[in-house]
């Protein structure tokens, strides 16, 4: 900046004021603006209409799935992707197997509370979002749990002969999904959600559909190695969470009774397969 420009801008320190506001009122956010997430209204309900989209170029499936664990212990929270997603050994799964095979009911209850959580990723087109109308007509990533995936499965492979299978990810023969959320026992419930009758997205306009197709996010990225810690790193963290110690132990060490007592503090009524509800609960407790 020249001296003349400096003099011209003298007295105007709006940018500095903005930066000062950030320093004095820091906001820690891990939000990823590629993702869309529904929100509840004041009554505790949520509603939106979305459209599941086809697989991105070069990929075989319109979704990917990831197993993870999230539980609390004396050494803090363990929230990590599970290596079983990649068909590899995972220390938590091994530990849970030891607990279950011990035959001790208290150990089995701990294994239940720290079981794997299944979450899915897919591309969606937002048809209607009353809470955030500015997101309508745009493509986002959507992370969801088994309950919503079951809805997708039901229309792809219906249980009754008088029902016609539908590909809900198809541009032309798919259907809008009415996402209806209620709070049941403090957790998000999607049982009322349903598909509309099949119809072409954007009235089948090829130019607009091609534009949407070009905006799809790759899903294979979530299965890349850098999204998963090594077996040894996970084992070290598991030991710390369960015991409050940083000493590296073996699965057999974790399985001793003195290591098992009260290692998890989580509401067992949680449907842990319902990822959005489960992590919303964790966020509320922070």
Q: What is the pLDDT of residues 147-184, one digit of tens each?
A: 999 999 999 999 999 899 999 999 999 999 999 999 99
- The overall average pLDDT reported for the chain is 83
Q: What is the pLDDT of residues 88-131, one digit of tens each?
A: 999 999 999 999 999 999 999 999 999 999 999 999 999 999 99
* Rounded Cα distance, 204 and 106, in Å: 56
pTM of structure: 0.76
pLDDT given at position 256: 45
Residue 135's nearest CA partner among 254, 35, 232, 57 is 35
What values do phi and psi take at 177, rounded to 5? -115, 120
Q: What is the pLDDT of residues 61-80, one digit of tens each?
A: 999 999 999 999 999 999 99
Q: What is the pLDDT of residues 19-38, one digit of tens each?
A: 554 444 443 435 789 999 99
| pLDDT band at 11; cut points 50, 70, 90 | low
Residue 201 CB neighbours (<10 A): 21
3-state SS assignment for residue 109 = helix
Buried b or exposed e, range 211-231, using 16+ CB within 10 angstroms: ebeeebbebeebeeeeebeee
Per-residue tokens: 114: 């720290």
Buried b or exposed e, range 92-107, using 16+ CB within 10 angstroms: bbbbbebbeebeeeeb
Per the model's pLDDT, the better-predicted residue between 40 and 5 turns out to be 40
Which region among 131-145, 188-202, 249-263 has the lowest average model confidence (pLDDT)?
Answer: 249-263
Per-domain residue ranges of the chain: 46-285
Helical H segments across the chain, by residue range:
3-8, 14-24, 91-101, 105-113, 146-156, 206-213, 231-243, 251-254, 257-260, 275-285
**What percent of the chain is helix, strand and coil (3-state, nearest 5)?**
35, 20, 45
| pLDDT band at 244; cut points 50, 70, 90 | confident
Chain centre distance of CA 218 = 16
Fold of domain 46-285 = Replication Fork Single-Stranded DNA Binding Protein (3.90.198)
pLDDT given at position 31: 73
3-state SS assignment for residue 111 = helix
In contact, 139 and 202? CB cutoff 8 Å: no
């Amino acid at each position: 900046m020249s001296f003349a420009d400096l003099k011209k801008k003298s007295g105007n320190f709006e940018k500095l004021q903005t930066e000062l506001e950030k320093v004095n009122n820091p906001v820690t956010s891990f939000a990823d603006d590629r993702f869309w997430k529904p929100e509840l209204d004041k009554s505790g309900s949520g509603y939106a209409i979305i459209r599941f989209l086809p697989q991105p170029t070069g990929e075989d499936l319109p979704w990917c799935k990831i197993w993870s664990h999230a539980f609390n212990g004396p050494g803090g929270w363990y929230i990590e992707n599970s290596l079983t997603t990649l068909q590899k050994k995972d220390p938590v799964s091994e530990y849970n197997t030891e607990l279950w095979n011990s035959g001790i009911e208290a150990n089995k209850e701990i294994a239940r509370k720290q079981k794997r959580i299944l979450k899915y990723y897919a591309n969606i087109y937002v048809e209607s979002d009353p809470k955030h109308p500015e997101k309508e007509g745009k493509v986002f990533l959507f992370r969801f749990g088994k309950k919503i995936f079951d809805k997708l499965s039901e229309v792809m492979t219906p249980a009754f002969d008088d029902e016609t299978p539908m590909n809900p990810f198809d541009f032309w023969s798919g259907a809008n999904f009415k996402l209806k959320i209620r709070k049941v026992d403090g957790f998000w419930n999607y049982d009322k959600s349903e598909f509309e009758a099949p119809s072409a997205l954007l009235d089948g306009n090829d130019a607009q559909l091609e534009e949407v197709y070009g905006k799809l996010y790759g899903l294979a990225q979530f299965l890349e190695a850098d999204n998963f810690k090594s077996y040894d790193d996970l084992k070290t963290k598991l030991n710390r969470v369960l015991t409050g110690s940083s000493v590296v132990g073996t699965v057999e060490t974790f399985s001793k009774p003195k290591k098992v007592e009260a290692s998890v503090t989580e509401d067992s009524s949680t449907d842990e397969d319902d990822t959005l509800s489960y992590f919303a609960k964790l966020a509320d407790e922070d």
